[in-house]
Amino acid sequence: MEKLSRLPRLLSVFFFFIAFLLLQSCTELKFKETTDETQNVTEFLRDNEEYSLFLEMLDLTNYASYMNTYGTFTVFIPNNDAVNNYLKDLGFTSLTQVPIEDLKKVVKLHIIDTKYTTASFTDGKLFNPTLLGQFIITGNTVVNGESFRTLNKEAKILTSNLELGNAVVHITDKVLSVANKTLAQTIEENPELSLFTEVLKATGWFEKLNQPLTFDANKVGSFLTVLAQSNEVYDNTKWTNPKTKVELTLNTLDNLKIRYSHLGDPTNTADSLNLYVQYHVIPKLNYLADFAVTPVFETKAPSEVISSKLIGGEIFLNRDTFNGVLEPGFSVLRPTSDLTCSNGVLHTVDTNFTIIKRFPLPVYFDLCDQPEFAANVANYRKPGGVKFGFGRGSFKDIQWTGHPTYPIEWAPVASSVNGDLLNIFRFRVTNSGANDIEVTTPVIIKGRYKIWVSYRQSPRASATTRLWFNGKITSRIINQRELPNDPNNTTSGIPDNVLETQGYKRYIYPHVQGDRLYSRLVGIVDVETTGRQKIKFVTDNCSGCGGADADSFDLVEFRPVDMDQIWPKFRKGLPVPGQSNLVPKPSPGEPEN
């Protein structure tokens, strides 16, 4: 009876619950698309009338909803005055008059799918491109005694580092210009490059530099980089004809043909004038920031390269020492360089230059110089950066067999060059780790080299690491467990030259025994063709191997066989802008360890 008396009450509760559910089903539920209550970009624009025209641009291009979702964007927002000036320049009075495809390009040029505060800005391009695929160039300018950050050398940042829910926002005084002109068009429209334009047309290279951007099956764009010379450079270039003994100024196309066109047909790719132009063209997209960190570049001239050095904030090309004689090379003119074009980037240089015979040059390959690592701007080579990594298939220039998710890691290590080491998580055979790790090197000039691999000693590392170069095994094993020639780690008393004869060296100056960083000579190789090469790390056994941080590598050095193999050494720690990592040999009387 007691149970029956409870039944009406239970039925009442049940029917109330059903009614509540039906009521809820008739009510539209609204969910915020972000993870907190901080305004997103679109909300910010709606609440700030001074940016209403950029909001209209987002609405017209259907990007307003996109910029109201969760993300990690950088957005450069032009204020209303900037947008009105943009319309005035186009001869329009309303954004609705701008062709929608053009407006979409402008909007995408103002958005990067990575957060960048001004602390990440350098005097050069940001690492990640915009949604349009073109890069933003940052810099500084002073107007009436006030310093401003600049974008693409045309817009000033008025307000910076506004942290929103899905983006970092910077307010600008100008709408950024989309690069719609090809390299050829950009060069031709500059009156200071009129003779260079003539040379391009005479050799057939004007048409090649006027081609629209295309992408191959691997989504690699047909970008080119051009090093142009101004009329002033040609006016200051003299040459004495060895046959007639007449001095010529190379400021006319005819004189340039006399100087360089040995076949008399500049359109022939084997003609010296054509090769002269080929040597001024570099494959891919290379901004000043790339020249600052990459020592050698391939050119369109077959097997010919250009070397690059950053000295005191200035980019020098082909500035090299041979047989003790310094070749001064020439410099890139910053104010007229880093010009983005629809199919590449344009620079100008201060000197007439042509192909010179190249001898082998050292290449110091930091294994952590990988774009996938560098894209992590919050940690990569930043004070306080923390370790991170990626699984198999995540890198463009690193491939391996073995476990698909065990990562190759970037690890901050203050005692190493550039303050980082490349960690291989579980470097071992079979699918229980990573093995056969193949890495693509920077450009190496044709010649004969000794290869040195630097590692951090660990009792749990591989004792049987072999290095393969372009499919051929090198002669020596790397035992990453050993302290060179001294299990008690008291090598400071062994002179560098003695250690070198044993196939080891201390590559960091000054050497600190407790850092456990050494370099091993793995063999001598012949680089048969100038270009990027393949190296592969392989271990055939790993009894007792550990996991994280057991197998760590720093540099792979390619030193010409006739070069000093010990000096220069390297500084440790995070890179310092404008400072080389190389340490020259100390003067007599200074310690060498």
Say yes or no: 282 and 378 in one domain. Answer: no
pLDDT at 24 over 50: no
pLDDT band at 2 (very low <50, low <70, confident <90, very high): very low
Six-digit token string for 2: 């007691």
Say yes or no: 190 and 335 in one domain. Answer: yes
CATH assignment at residue 216: 2.30.180.10
Which runs of consecutive H residues, i.e. helices, occur in 239-390? 253-260, 272-278, 288-293, 371-374
Could you give the number of structural domains in the chain? 3
Q: Is residue 457 part of a domain?
A: yes
Choose among 375, 378, 409, 377: nearest CA to 392.
Answer: 409
Give per-residue pLDDT as tens, 329-357: 999 999 999 999 999 999 999 999 999 87
* Residue where the block lists tokens 């719609």: 180
Q: Is residue 3 part of a domain?
A: no
pLDDT band at 183 (very low <50, low <70, confident <90, very high): very high
**Does a cis peptide bond (omega within 30 degrees of 0) precede residue 283?**
no
Say yes or no: 161 and 226 in one domain. Answer: no
Say yes or no: 201 and 116 in one domain. Answer: no
Say yes or no: 141 and 68 in one domain. Answer: yes
Q: Is residue 18 part of a domain?
A: no
Give per-residue pLDDT as tens, 256-295: 999 999 999 999 999 999 999 999 999 999 999 889 888 8
Say yes or no: 213 and 341 in one domain. Answer: yes
φ, ψ dihedrals at 575, nearest 5°:
-65, 145
Say yes or no: 491 and 416 in one domain. Answer: yes
Write b or e for each residue in 388-411: b if 16 or more Cβ atoms lie within 10 A of its Cβ, otherwise e.
Answer: ebbebeebeebbbbbbeebbbbbb
Say yes or no: 454 and 344 in one domain. Answer: no
pLDDT band at 35 (very low <50, low <70, confident <90, very high): very low
Q: Is residue 86 part of a domain?
A: yes
- What's the CA gap between 565 and 472, in Å, rounded? 22
Residue 260, classed as helix, strand or coil, is helix
Q: Is residue 420 part of a domain?
A: yes
Six-digit token string for 142: 């002073």
Tell which of 321, 349, 377 closes a domain: 349
Say yes or no: 207 and 320 in one domain. Answer: yes
How many residues are present in the chain?
A: 593
Instruction: Give the residue numbers spanning the domain of 112.
Output: 41-172
- What's the CA gap between 360 and 449, in Å, rounded? 8
Residue 13, classed as helix, strand or coil, is helix
Choose among 170, 145, 167: nearest CA to 155.
Answer: 170
Tell which of 172, 197, 218 closes a domain: 172
Q: Is residue 32 part of a domain?
A: no
The answer to whether the predicted template modeling score (pTM) of the entire model surpasses 0.85 is no
CATH assignment at residue 393: 2.60.120.260
pLDDT at 586 over 70: yes
Q: Are 200 and 176 in contact (CB under 8 A)?
A: no
Q: Is residue 15 part of a domain?
A: no
Say yes or no: 300 and 373 in one domain. Answer: no
Which runs of consecutive H residues, i.e. helices, occur in 349-413? 371-374
Q: In Å, how far are 362, 479, 486 from 474, measured between CA atoms?
A: 18, 14, 24
Say yes or no: 114 and 142 in one domain. Answer: yes
Say yes or no: 388 and 278 in one domain. Answer: no
